[in-house]
């Protein structure tokens, strides 16, 4: 055993020497040297260096606000040459990109976290939007369809090229984005949080596609992700960025690729327990839903929530687990002042009394809050400062005779900035300039200031790093310790298991299982989901 161990160590040391001594003959496709980018009051990047070999999958990891997306925006031309310092050397040539089109002409294509697809256009139309086939006067639709089919086949999407984007799921939309990138002759594909909106099976399929494209097309990829298990699975190298600076680059087969090791590099310390401990103090039922039914707002014959019953108690965190499309968000929004759905029926009780919440304002008055999964689209006004966003859900508390007290508004925003440890130069800063994790904290502050008794959190940690996740978990624990009730919708099973006192399992619009937090496992949750498919309820 010891001899085998020694041989393994020798092989690792030899590999290190090869890399350090320049024996590794792999071509350097991209080198970013001493990249520095400053925004008003913030140095987002400070002499960052990155080297990517041709044909590798290179992961960028770091806490929210570390500078990962900023670095990729510099590379892709979103931030034009002259707005940053340093050099981009691509394919042995110094490049000065002034727009995205400039980088795309070199084969560098970026897919942002918020997909740039138009819902009411077809797959083929979206794939070649801005890159149309044909002449200036006339689009060649035959060529468009043939080429779209070619690239869709490469990524394994069988849907018709004439299918509207709105009629396919998020997982398939990601495949359309990759096919679109390949149609631009991409040599370097940048993916910013590509699996943040996907369930586990869709995420695995997407990562396997990247590995396939690497092997068959020699496609080089840079992936930004906070899902460290996925990073370890797919990446050849991992570069860690912290506070706008490069910390280290880890190589698979040479360095420790464990989640604990990556976290240590990201946050500068070990994060031994990913979920903070809490002693549950669970009281009476705070909110109860019985026989709840909701129909789709456009397709009136499609029932999206089917006869659901559930409850949450004072001081309790209740999880709702399920696959994408199970109806979890639709359920939450329909409860929250009927902000989703048509023909809603059923009984809703708060503190034992039946209530009729006809709109969002009535829901807020009854001490019910809903923290949306779409913080940028529905949760925050990105062009407004932090202070305005913080008080939006409870303007009465900072106004008199319908006139907002600006000083009080400012004080409230500063108070929540300190409570939630939001990283920002000032509460006067626009929310759109914050990282995803800090935007999420502002969204939480907005609803915490409304002082709800029941808080529905829809994917509260989507797209944010492990450090920011831990801080949000601590906030959740503080809320229930104070006697609030929390309903957490999450696609991350470890998060559900680590935080929740009880777990409901939802599938195809129905509640198909309920588990005590102590007995819940990933296997049990998936068993409920799989056995209930086809409308068979699990007992």
Domain containing 476 — which CATH number?
A: 3.40.50.300
360 & 437 share domain? no
Task: Read off the pLDDT of each residue in 511-539 and give the average, rounded to a whole number.
Answer: 77
Return d(Cα 270, Cα 275) in angstroms, integer: 13
Asked whether residue 210 is assigned to any structural domain, the reply reads no
Domain that holds residue 472: 273-367+452-539
* 228 within 8 A of 466, measured Cβ to Cβ: yes
Residues in the chain: 539
State the pTM of this model: 0.64
Same-domain status, 336 and 458:
yes
In a domain, 202, yes or no: no
Number of folded domains that form the chain: 3
Average pLDDT over residues 327-347: 94
What mean pLDDT is predicted for residues 36-50?
Answer: 86
Both 460 and 489 in one domain: the answer is yes
Residues 1 and 36 in one domain: yes
| pLDDT number for residue 375 | 84
pLDDT, position 3: 41
Proportion of the chain above pLDDT 90, given as a percent: 55
Considering only 15-19, 229-233, 248-252, 427-431, which range has the smallest mean pLDDT?
Answer: 15-19
Mean pLDDT of 160-186: 88
414 lies in the same domain as 532: no
Mean pLDDT over 471-488 rounds to 92
**What is d(CA 259, CA 271) in angstroms, rounded to the nearest whole number?**
10
- 374 pLDDT band, cuts 50/70/90, is confident
Bigger pLDDT: 489 or 198? 489
pLDDT over 60 at 120, yes or no: yes
Range picked from 11-15, 193-197, 279-283 for highest mean pLDDT: 279-283
457: which 2 tokens? 């959190």
**Same domain, residue pair 19 and 101:** yes
538 has pLDDT over 60: no
Please indicate, yes or no, if residue 174 is contained in any of the structural domains. no
How far is residue 349's CA from residue 49's CA, in Å, rounded to a whole number? Answer: 56
Query: Do 259 and 352 share a domain, yes or no?
Result: no
Q: Does the pLDDT value for residue 191 go beyond 50?
A: yes
Burial 127-141 (b: 16+ CB within 10 A, else e): bbeeeebeeeeeeee
* Confidence tier at 15 by pLDDT (50, 70, 90): very low
What's the pLDDT tens digit per position in 137-163?
A: 899 999 999 999 999 998 888 899 999
Do 24 and 100 have their domain in common? Answer: yes
pLDDT of 7 above 70: no
Which is more confident, 390 or 535?
390
Same domain, 466 and 357: yes
Task: Give residue 262's pLDDT.
Answer: 86
The answer on pLDDT for 416 being more than 80 is yes
Instruction: Write down the pLDDT at residue 272.
Output: 59
Per-residue model confidence (pLDDT) at position 335: 96
What are 78-88's pLDDT values in tens digits?
999 999 999 99
pLDDT over 70 (residue 48): yes
Output the six-digit token pair for 125: 């139309």
Q: Are residues 353 and 464 in the same domain?
A: yes
Q: In this predicted model, which residue has the larger pLDDT, 29 or 156?
A: 29
Assign 268 a pLDDT band (cuts: 50, 70, 90): confident
Counts of helices then strands in the chain (DSSP H, E): 17, 22
pLDDT at 499: 94
In a domain, residue 395? The reply is: yes
Give the pLDDT band of residue 363 (cuts 50, 70, 90).
very high
Domain boundary among the residues 403, 435, 450 is at 450
pLDDT score at 291: 96
Task: Specify the pLDDT at position 387.
Answer: 95
Are residues 396 and 493 both part of a single domain?
no
Mean pLDDT of 288-295: 96
Q: Report the pLDDT averaged over residues 39-66.
A: 87
Nearest-angstrom CA–CA distance, 239 and 246: 7
Spatial neighbors of 360 by CB under 8 A, at least 6 apart, are 336, 337, 339
Confidence category of residue 2, pLDDT binned at 50, 70, 90 = very low
Domain end marker among 232, 251, 269? 269
Residue 408, burial from CB neighbour count under 10 angstroms (0-12, 13-18, 19+): middle
Does the residue 190 lie in any domain? no
Tell me what the mean pLDDT of segment 392-416 comes to: 92
Say whether pLDDT at 536 is over 60: no
Residues 356 and 459 in one domain: yes
Specify the pLDDT at position 533: 61
Domain limit, last residue, from 422, 450, 478: 450
How many Å apart are CA 516 and CA 313, to the nearest integer?
13
Stretch 521-532: mean pLDDT: 82
CA pair distance 364, 370, nearest whole angstrom: 9
Region of 520 on the Ramachandran plot (φ > 0 left; ψ -120 to 50 alpha; else beta) = beta
The mean-pLDDT minimum among 3-17, 207-221, 520-534 falls in 3-17
């Amino acid at each position: 055993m010891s001899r085998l161990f020694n041989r393994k160590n020798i092989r690792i040391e030899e590999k290190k020497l090869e890399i350090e001594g320049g024996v590794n003959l792999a071509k350097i496709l991209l080198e970013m040297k001493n990249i520095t980018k400053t925004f008003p009051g913030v140095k987002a990047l400070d002499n960052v260096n990155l080297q990517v070999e041709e044909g590798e999958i290179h992961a960028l990891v770091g806490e929210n606000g570390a500078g990962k997306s900023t670095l990729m925006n510099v590379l892709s031309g979103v931030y034009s040459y002259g707005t940053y310092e340093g050099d981009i050397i691509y394919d042995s040539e110094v490049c000065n990109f002034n727009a995205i089109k400039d980088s795309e002409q070199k084969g560098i294509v970026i897919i942002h976290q918020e997909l740039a697809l138009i819902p009411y256009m077809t797959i083929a139309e979206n794939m070649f939007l801005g890159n149309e086939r044909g002449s200036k006067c006339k689009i060649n639709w035959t060529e468009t369809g043939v080429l779209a089919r070619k690239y869709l086949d490469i990524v394994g999407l069988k849907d018709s090229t004439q299918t509207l984007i709105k009629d396919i799921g998020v997982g398939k939309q990601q495949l359309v984005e990759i096919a679109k990138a390949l149609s631009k002759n991409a040599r370097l594909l940048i993916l910013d949080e590509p699996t943040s909106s996907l369930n586990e099976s869709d995420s695995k399929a997407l990562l396997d596609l990247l590995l396939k494209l690497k092997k068959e097309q020699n496609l080089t990829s840079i992936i930004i992700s906070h899902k460290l298990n996925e990073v370890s699975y797919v990446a050849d190298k991992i570069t860690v960025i912290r506070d706008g600076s490069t910390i280290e680059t880890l190589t698979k087969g040479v360095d420790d690729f464990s989640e604990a090791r990556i976290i240590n590099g990201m946050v500068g310390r070990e994060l031994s327990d990913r979920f903070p401990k809490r002693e549950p103090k669970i009281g009476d039922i705070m909110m109860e839903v019985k026989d709840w039914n909701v129909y789709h707002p456009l397709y009136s014959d499609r029932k999206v929530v089917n006869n659901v019953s559930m409850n949450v108690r004072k001081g309790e965190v209740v999880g709702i687990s399920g696959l994408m499309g199970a109806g979890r968000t639709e359920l939450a929004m329909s409860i929250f002042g009927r902000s989703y759905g048509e023909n809603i029926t059923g009984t809703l009780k708060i503190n034992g009394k039946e209530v009729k919440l006809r709109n969002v304002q009535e829901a807020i008055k009854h001490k019910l809050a809903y923290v949306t999964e779409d913080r940028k689209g529905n949760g925050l006004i990105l062009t407004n400062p932090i202070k305005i966003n913080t008080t939006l859900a409870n303007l009465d508390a900072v106004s008199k005779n319908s006139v907002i007290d600006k000083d009080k508004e400012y004080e409230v925003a500063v108070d929540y900035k300190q409570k939630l440890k939001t990283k920002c130069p000032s509460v006067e800063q626009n929310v759109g300039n914050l990282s995803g994790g800090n935007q999420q904290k502002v969204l939480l502050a907005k609803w915490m200031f409304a002082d709800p008794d029941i808080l529905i959190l829809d994917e509260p940690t989507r797209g944010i790093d492990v450090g920011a996740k831990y801080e949000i978990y601590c906030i959740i624990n503080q809320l229930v310790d104070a006697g609030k009730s929390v309903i957490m919708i999450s696609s991350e099973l470890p998060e559900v298991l680590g935080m929740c006192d009880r777990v409901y399992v939802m599938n195809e619009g129905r509640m198909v299982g309920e588990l005590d937090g102590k007995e819940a496992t990933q296997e049990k949750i998936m068993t409920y989901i799989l056995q209930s498919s086809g409308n068979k309820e699990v007992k």
